[in-house]
Structure 1
Amino acid sequence: MKLIPVVTAILVASFLYLLIIDRDRLQAIAQIEGATETGDQSEQTEARVAGVGVVAVRSTAQEVDDAVVLRGRTEAARQVEVRAETAGRVISEPLRKGAFVETGDLLCELDPGTREIELSETKARLSEAESRVPTAQATQAEAQARLREAEINLSNAKRLSQGGYQSETSVISAEAAMEAAAAQVQSAASGLVSAQAGIDAARAAVAAAEREIDKLSIRAPFDGLLETDTAELGLLMQTGAPCATIVQLDPIKLVGFVPEVDVDKIRLGARARGRLASGPPLAGEVRFVSRSADETTRTFRVEVVVPNADLVIRDGQTAEIMIETNGTQAHLLPQSALTLDDEGRLGVRLVEGDASGPVARFAPVALLRDTAQGVLVAGLEPEAAVIVVGQEYVTDGVRVSPNFREAAQ
Structure 2
Amino acid sequence: MTVRNYFDEKVSTADKSFYEYFTEIIKQFGNEIALKDPETTKAITYTELISQSEQMLNALTRLGVQHGDVIGTYVCNSPAYITFVLAVLGLGAILVPLNPAYKPYEVEKYFKQASVKWILVEEKLFEKIRHLKMENMQAIIFFSSGTTGLPKGIRLSHSALIANVELVRKAQEIKCEKYEMVSLSGMDVVYGVLPYFHAGGLLTVFGLLGLVYGTTEAGAFVFMQPLNATGKSGSCGILLPSVECKIMKLASDEEGKEMEVGEIWLKTATMMQTYLNGTTDIDDAFVDGWFRSGDLGYYDSDHFIYITGRIRDMIKVRGWQVVSPYEIEETIQGLKDVELCAVIGIPDEYSGQLPKAYIQLRDGCQLDESTIHQLVNTKFASYKQLKGGIQFISNMPINSAGKISRRELMKMNEMQGKTV
The interval holding the TM-score normalised by the smaller chain is under 0.3
Which has a greater percent of helix?
A: 1
Which has a greater percent of strand?
A: 1
Larger radius of gyration: 1
Relative contact order (alpha carbons < 8 A, sep ≥ 6): 1 or 2 greater?
1
Give me the TM-score of the superposition, normalised by structure 1: 0.18
